Amino acid sequence: MADVFGDDDDVQLIPATCDSDWTLASDFLLETVERCRRQKIPLWTHEQVCVAALKQNYHSHSLHLLRYRDIWIGCVFISFDSDVFWPDIDTNSSVFFHKLAISDAYHGQGLGEKALAALGNLAKHSQRRWLRCDCHGARPRLRAFYQAFGFDLVDRKPRLGFDVARYQMRIESAHTGN
């Protein structure tokens, strides 16, 4: 599997390699927290997106920075095959993503869709059948964003103390066409 997906006109997923990458990711997430707070949209707390909390909750290889035209624009956490929010179904052959964040400077410019396309390409090239995510159930705009991109709502119910909406999208195989 390649380390970088996409070309200069696509959003690229770049695996984190050093501590400064975690700081940059935390900064992107803090921007997102503040943007949502101003709009009274439920999201994480500052404490949940500080570097120490991120490192405690995610494996070092899961952090990916998002680059577009040689500019860092955001971050996402990626995991394969298992996820704490999906304990009740067989999640083999899945790619999960969490905390997808686009910087305020680039928010609303279509880069979220390009990031989702890059995640779909990662899943396809990794020979996974599903791209899965979850979000706060009380975020209708985010939920509509995922559905407009092609994700299907699996369910919405309390999980781990949160109102969680789970989404999945079937990925066509890069080798078999299905």
Structural domains in the chain, sorted by start: 12-133 (3.40.630.30)
Say what the pTM is: 0.92
- Decide which of 1 and 163 is more confident: 163
For residue 102, give Cα distances in angstroms to 28, 32, 109, 157, 159: 7, 7, 10, 26, 25
pLDDT digits 0-9 by tens, 86-129: 998 888 899 999 999 999 999 999 999 999 999 999 999 999 99
Residue 38 binned pLDDT confidence (cut-offs 50, 70, 90): very high
- pLDDT, residue 176, reads 44
Over residues 42-58, mean pLDDT: 94
Report whether 66 contacts 110 (CB < 8 A).
no
- pLDDT, residue 2, reads 38
Please list the alpha-helical segments (H only) found in 39-110: 51-57
What's the mean per-residue pLDDT of the chain? 91
Rounded Cα gap, residues 124 and 119, in angstroms: 9
Over residues 43-49, mean pLDDT: 93
Over residues 32-47, mean pLDDT: 92
- pLDDT, residue 100, reads 97
Over residues 30-46, mean pLDDT: 93
Asked whether the predicted pLDDT for residue 136 surpasses 70, the reply is yes
Report whether 140 contacts 134 (CB < 8 A).
no
Rounded Cα gap, residues 84 and 65, in angstroms: 22
Over residues 40-44, mean pLDDT: 88
- Decide which of 1 and 34 is more confident: 34
